Amino acid sequence: MDPEEISDHPISRPWPLTSGPIPGGEDLPALLGLALSIAAEAAALARATREKALTEISTKSSATDVVTAADKAGERLIRERLAIARPGDPIVGEEGGEQDAVPGTVRWILDPIDGTVNYVYGVPYYAVAIAAERDGRLLVGVVHNIADGTVWHAAAGLGAYRNGEPVHCGSPTDLSWALIATGFGYDKEVRRWQGEILAAVIPEVRDIRRMGSAAIDLCLLAEGVLDGYYERGPHLWDYAAGGLIAAEAGAVVSGLYREAPEIGMTLAAAPGVYPAPRALLQSRIPDTESTEG
């Protein structure tokens, strides 16, 4: 979709964290190289410690929202490596809390294992996700599938790649032919609501997939395996790296009623099909509901 076509939609411009000028003074190849290296080390740690980590499982928001010793160890490792290489950079992490962005400073956004339930059960979709942003602009993103070693990456304005080869999102224009991914929350009431929304979506699409990792879903969209993705509940660390990769591959990434993805709803799709799932979801989800946490 051309920028002129996108401008005709209420979402009038791409996600702000993937658009606009790249802040000066940052060496994107160096940031990307660091993210790739740390993600590979964290993935190796998660693979090597999986058997032991499965004996140390706790829960977070609900009995089904699990965290393993490997999640915590992986985040510690990533934070330690970043502190050595980039002392003073703020960090946002799923397991270790959030530091506010500082103007003019790179902030790192990380998830040591996106798809922890898959990690626990051995379903091969769980990944290290690392992104870096500065002044509201995503600079680099890396998603490293721990299970099979596939690596997706992107840098602002430089395209998206899978194992070093460029990728581009697909070009469907008919929602009925689109393969759409989604995810589900851990709260029972949220899941009930998500089931109702899913029941409205299924008849309108080719099929639905539920991989269990927002980061990987967005990367599969980037390479054209999926045509779209929507989910209520992802946090910044879930969608930042994959969202940049999808956007650099040509996908439209947004919230449902807002330019930026949000915990209320993250929506991403190939540009030719994007308006249809957005309209369908809006017909079922009022604006006030889309922004609830």
In whole angstroms, what is the distance from residue 16 CA to residue 259 CA?
Answer: 7
Residues 6+ apart with CB under 8 A from 103: 135
What is the Cα–Cα distance from 225 to 217, expressed in whole angstroms?
Answer: 9
Task: Report yes or no: 148 and 225 within 8 Å, Cβ to Cβ.
Answer: no
Question: What is the amino acid identity at position 106?
Answer: V
CB–CB of 216/143 below 8 Å? yes
| 111 annotated to a ligand binding site | yes
Rounded CA separation 230/208 (Å): 11
- Got the DSSP string for 131-182? EEEETTEEEEEEEEETTT--EEEEETTS-EEETTEEE-------GGG-EEEE
114 is in an annotated binding site: yes
If 0-12 CB within 10 Å is exposed, 13-18 middle and 19+ buried, where does residue 101 land? middle
Q: Which helix (H) or strand (E) holds 184?
A: none
Q: b vs e for 264-285, b when ≥16 Cβ sit within 10 Å of the residue's Cβ?
A: bbbbbbbbbbbbbbbebbbeeb
Q: How far apart are CA 127 and CA 149, in angstroms?
A: 9
Contact assessment for residue 94 and residue 75, using Cβ atoms and an 8 Å cutoff = yes
User: In angstroms, rounded to a whole number, what is the distance separating the alpha carbons of residues 160 and 91?
Assistant: 23
Binding residues: 94, 111, 113-114, 238
Binding residues for Mg(2+): 94, 111, 113-114, 238
